[in-house]
Amino acid sequence: MSAVGVVSQLPLSGCDARTGIDIEGREASSQEPTRAHWRFVISDYFRAMGIQLLEGRLLTEQDAQENAPPVVVINRTMAATYWPGQSPIGKRLRVNGAQEWFTIIGVVRDVNH
């Protein structure tokens, strides 16, 4: 079986992208800012890299369609940090100040970067 994936910053490349995020239902705090490292990927990236799905589902080609609702896959650390003791599936987040909310559809294992 083979797979092809694309990612905006390769693991271990030295490149990184981190931004503030808003989590629906959570008050922003200047004492403890809410941040996430993010990557843009295409649907087969996780399979190509052998990144295990822990909960929910991975991205599909349908998620990239023009009228598809915005969705996101997060890692185990983010899930445990912002939704401890509960499932993050169905929860929503957005880049600070943006209008568009992304619904969490999956949780994958952590990857060394």
- Express each pLDDT in 96-112 by its tens digit: 778 899 999 999 999 87
The pLDDT confidence band at residue 79, using thresholds 50, 70 and 90, is: very high
Q: Where are the domains of the chain?
A: 19-108
Contacts (Cβ under 8 Å, ≥6 apart) of 72: 93, 102, 103, 104, 105
Direct distance between the N- and C-terminal alpha carbons of the chain, in angstroms, rounded to an integer: 25
What's the pLDDT at 83? Answer: 94
What's the pLDDT at 85? Answer: 95
For 85, the token pair is 């003791």
What would the pLDDT profile of 22-64 be if each residue is shown by its tens digit?
Answer: 888 887 666 666 777 777 777 788 888 889 999 999 999 899 8
How many other β-carbons are positioned within 10 Å of the β-carbon of residue 112? Answer: 5
What's the pTM value of the predicted model, to 2 decimals? 0.83
The pLDDT confidence band at residue 16, using thresholds 50, 70 and 90, is: low
Please, what's the b/e burial string for 79-102 (b: 16 or more CB within 10 A of its CB; e: otherwise)?
Answer: beebbeeeebbebbbbeeeeeebb
Q: Is the pLDDT of residue 80 over 90?
A: yes
